[in-house]
A and B are shown apart, each in its own frame.
Chain A
Amino acid sequence: MISAFLILLPLATGAVSFAIRSSESARRFSLLSALLTLGLVIAGLLPANASSLALDLPWLPVMGSRFTLAMDGMSKMLCLLTALSFPVIFLAMFRQSFRSPGAFYGWMLLSQAGLMGVFLAADALLFYFFWELALIPVYFLCSTWGGERRIFVTIKFFLYTFIGSLLMLAGIIYLSFQTPASSFAIRDITQAAVNSPNSTLLFLLFFIAFAIKMPVFPLHTWQPDAYEESPSPVTMVMSGVMVKMGIYAVVRWLLPLFPSASVQYADIIIAFAVAGMLYASLIAMQQNNLRRLIAYSSIAHIGLMAAALFTSHPGATQGVMLQMFSHGINVIGFWILADAIEKITGTRLLNEMGGLAKQAPRLAILLVVMGLANVALPLTNAFVGEFMMFNGLFHYNWVVAATAGISIILAAVYTLRMIEKVLYGTPANLNQPIVDLSPNVTWALIVLVILVLIGGIYPQPLIDLTKDTVETLTLKK
């Protein structure tokens, strides 16, 4: 039952939140709801509650779809990531006020419910349902509270993902008719997909949907725009948690469903992913806009994860598991800092900043730590995952690994350049007095920094948590 409550709690509190008028109470209410969800996830992680995680209820008997939820290691980890991100984001945004706050936090909580559903669903139609449900709140959030070009950017983002998910739906319907009893249960669907004669076409239908979501080069063009124009908390959710939907879906659905096709097309996909890494890193180097820089850096990181997934190397898959969590933590931290910098300086252009380190020491320390985590320095959480992924890539093909390795250097270049431009040099002439990070932002970031360090020094708990997913995937191969 715990798994059902993970969806129901944000859903219900989100719906209630729409009725709240005052900004103060909306913030408190949503923070409380997010903390409760976090508590639920932690309760779910306890071994004592392992039996109460799965759920199977009849939903649409005529179609053969059931309301089935299941939680394996990867689901647990991503639910934990989702449940951790939202309180941190709400805490960091605690001092900011939004127009019609009730609706804003309501949509945020609804998107959390959709995300939880995606990570829990063990029925293909239910999965599709939540996949879309996670998208709709983001559409309204970006379009209402976003920047200047929000309407164009959001519809672009929405159409991109919607085309992908509809293609996936066509594939799901086709597969469901291949099962003996027109079922959508993950086991039946997998069986049907493995035996299907059209697995190449179906593989493509699913892959496009997931590749758009991740995003893999060249289907990434919605992403920098969307990240730049969305309100900061939404960007954090999108880049911290939502892109993991794509990777999660590859591990949960694509690889088990089409084992032969994913080996067959691995070369092409890895080539695209690695090309995307280099391409995104090069663009990030040239970026003057802080938000676009982080967006492109995120594309580069996701590219590495996508490439590692298709190497069929168990170590690399394990690395992806770690990196999904670490990337979520790091990128949310980065966005919190970017948002704070923007609020402090009033600009998002790097060449208009400078010399913040003197006036804002707390910001400086935290930005450097997060920056080093972005470069995957040893002792930070990203190092372990990246090391494992590169190891897998190296086993797959050393040329690919070497090419991908260039992006590590480039990552150091653009991250350090960004740190330098923001923190050091001559203080820029800004129209407003410089203030350091406010306490709530500092605390949110300290939580993240602790997680970064734990992940870097002792990642074993996470590895243990996700081991079963990796093992099942390897066994299927």
Chain B
Amino acid sequence: MNAIIFSAVWGVVMMFGGLIAKNKTTITYLAIAGLLVLTGVNLLHSCGTWVIKVDTHETLHFDSMGLYFNTIAFGSTLLYVLLSGKDIERAGVHVAEYYALIFFVLCGVSILTSFNGLLMLFLGIEIMTIPLYILTGADKRNLKSNEASLKYFLMGSFSTGIMLMGIALIYGATGKFGITLGPSTAPSTGLGFRPPFLEVGGLLLLFVAMSFKVSAAPFHFWTPDVYDGAPAVFTSFMATVVKSAGFFAFIKLMDIRTSILGDSWMIILPMVIFLTLLIGNITAVFQQSVKRMLAYSSIAQAGFMLFALYGTSVLSKEGLVLYAFSYSIATIGLFAILIRLKDYSLDGFNGLAVQHPMVAFSAAVFLLSLAGIPLTAGFFAKYYMLAAAVRAGGIFWLVIAAVILAAVSVYYYFRVIQSMYFKSGTPEWTAPVGKAFGWTLLLLASILIYAGLFPTAVLKFIYF
């Protein structure tokens, strides 16, 4: 609750801060302070202290997992602002508003980690995505940015409509918004089993809408255009914090409800996962622009995260936290480098290792982690997802397909490493690469390596 209130309030503070502070750097500092406060009050909540006592009438339910996820999201945003704050200042004229929107997104994120009813889920999703439509179009004079924003908005509206329809059907079937199942729909199987079609229909519509939000195939078509068209600095935020939060909500939603779908769930989900992995990985191979490659790779990574929907074991939840953690850190770091490069194509990275060894080393660690090479956090993230699927049983073919496609992903991630290390050239930058930037990146890289050696260090806080 602390996080929801403070993020909303700080968003307003940021808006008015823009009126008073004329210096853009001051605004960034204000945002960093806000994020520190936000992380702080969220940690307070994790320890059981509510700053303001609010009775939510069980529409929101706070558990340690959700609060921990909040901490990861706020921490990632903090790192993101520390690394790319200068680039947010350069993205356009209304810097304070950008930060305000980011805080509103975080408000949506904290609702999504704690919703206990479909209505709150809907609110959370909307609060999270509407600011994103604006951020996508932040580069007003750029046609591609406008196109991306409009496309995102139209497609997003459709999925919102589908989601509302799903919620309405479920409400019609059960008479409540709660995510726990009523006694009338107790799971049963066998010959005489007839699933309550309103509820099944509603659930499937919700599944489609959520798949859209996390860009799972075949509902992924908006992703490459939006990620490519949006200013890179906001793509970074969208692809990491927002996407992970979407997944968290998805899993929270599907965790209990899948039982009424019965066996058909075991047909739908593997198909979606397989398609997502296949389309994401294979298309990423052919990209020349690193930004677009990362957009497709985010689809591919989403495919792996979908394994967490086999929510039968604790593995999948732990895995999702670890995945969100490693994926967010690696992607934020990579984007922070990409944003500052003039040329987003692979050739833009040529010779980075000679020019800035520290930056190149960190980027290599990020890429290795995304590819899931041992010794990085990305390996254990993938390991947990595969383990969750193996434990669920019955879909070993999908596990094998997933590992082969993971090997495909090595190809396109390593192309960036090849450019940085084994090709000569001089990358050109839009902003100077300072010492502080390099050290922050190195810090991110060492976090990934540490978590790759001792993933328990990340996981133990789930059960705080």
A contacts, CB < 8 Å to B: 60-63, 128-129, 132-133, 136, 140, 143-144, 150-151, 155, 158-159, 162-163, 166-167, 169-170, 173-174, 177, 198, 201, 205
Residues of chain B within 8 A (CB-CB) of A133 are 374-375
Among the listed B368, B390, B403, B410, which residue makes an inter-chain contact with A159, where contact means beta carbons less than 8 Å apart? B410
Q: Which residue of A lies closest to B389 (CB)?
A: A173
Tell me if A174 and B373 are in contact (CB < 8 A).
no
Report the Cα distance A400→B115, complex, angstroms. Answer: 68
Q: Is B56 located at the chain interface by the 8 A CB criterion?
A: no
| Pick from B374, B386, B421: contact of A132, CB under 8 Å | B374
Across the interface, A167 reaches (CB within 8 A) one of B390, B391, B403, B454, namely B403
Whether B456 contacts A162 by the Cβ 8 Å rule is: no
B422 touches A61 (CB 8 A): no
> How far in angstroms is the closest Cβ of chain B from A3?
19
Q: Is the CB of B410 within 8 A of A162?
A: yes
Say whether A170 contacts B403, CB under 8 Å.
yes
Q: How far is the CA of A159 from the CA of B454 in the complex (A)?
A: 26
Partner of A173, one of B375, B383, B406: B383
Chain B positions 380 through 397: 1 when the CB is less than 8 Å from some CB of chain A, otherwise 0: 000100110011000010
- Contact present for B403 and A169 (CB under 8 Å): yes
Q: Within 8 Å CB of B456, what residues of A?
A: 60-62
Give A167 to B407 CA distance when docked, in angstroms.
10
Q: What size tier do the contact residues of chain B reach?
A: 20 to 34
Interface centre among A150, A151, A205 (most CB of B within 10 A): A151
Within the complex, what minimum Cβ distance (angstroms) separates B400 from chain A? Answer: 6
When C-beta atoms are compared, the residue in chain A nearest to B419 turns out to be A151
- CA of A62 to CA of B421 in the docked complex: distance in angstroms? 37
Cβ–Cβ contact A60 & B400, under 8 A = no
Which residues of chain B come closer than 8 Å to A144, judged between CB atoms? 421-422
A130 shortest CB reach to chain B, Å: 9
The answer to whether B414 has its CB under 8 Å from any CB of chain A is yes
Q: Which residue of B lies closest to A160 (CB)?
A: B407
Across the interface, do A170 and B400 meet the contact criterion of CB distance under 8 Å? yes
Contact with A along B179-191 (1 / 0, CB 8 A): 0000000000000
- Given contacts A159-B410, A162-B407, A167-B400, whether A132 and B459 have CB atoms under 8 Å apart is no
CA distance in complex: A143, B416 (Å): 13
Interface flag for B221 (CB, 8 Å): no
5 nearest CB pairs, A to B: A166-B403, A163-B407, A132-B374, A129-B374, A143-B422
Q: Which residues of B contact A151 (CB under 8 A)?
A: 418, 422-423
15 A-B pairs, CB-CB below 8 angstroms? A62-B455, A63-B387, A128-B374, A129-B374, A136-B368, A136-B373, A143-B422, A158-B414, A159-B407, A162-B407, A166-B407, A167-B404, A173-B399, A198-B396, A205-B400
Given A60-B455, A129-B374, do A170 and B386 touch, yes or no (CB 8 Å)? yes
Partner of B422, one of A128, A150, A158, A169: A150
**Assembled-state Cα–Cα distance A150/B374 (Å):** 24
Q: Does B461 contact A (CB under 8 A)?
A: no
Taking the closest CB of chain B, its distance from the CB of A359, in whole angstroms, is 37
Residues from chain A with a CB closer than 8 A to the CB of B390 are 170, 173-174, 177
Chain A residues lying within 8 Å of B407, measured Cβ to Cβ, are 159, 162-163, 166
Give the CA-CA distance A170 to B395 in the complex, in Å.
Answer: 12
Bound-complex Cα distance A174 to B396 (A)? 9
Most buried by A among B374, B383, B386, B399: B374
Distance of A128 Cα from B407 Cα, bound (Å): 15
Residues of B within 8 A of A128 (CB): 374
List of B residues within 8 angstroms of A169 by Cβ: 383, 386, 403
Given known contacts A133-B374, A136-B368, A167-B403, what 20 new A-B pairs fall within 8 Å (CB)?
A60-B454, A60-B456, A62-B456, A63-B387, A129-B375, A140-B421, A143-B421, A144-B421, A151-B418, A151-B423, A155-B414, A159-B410, A169-B383, A170-B390, A170-B396, A170-B399, A170-B403, A173-B386, A174-B396, A177-B391
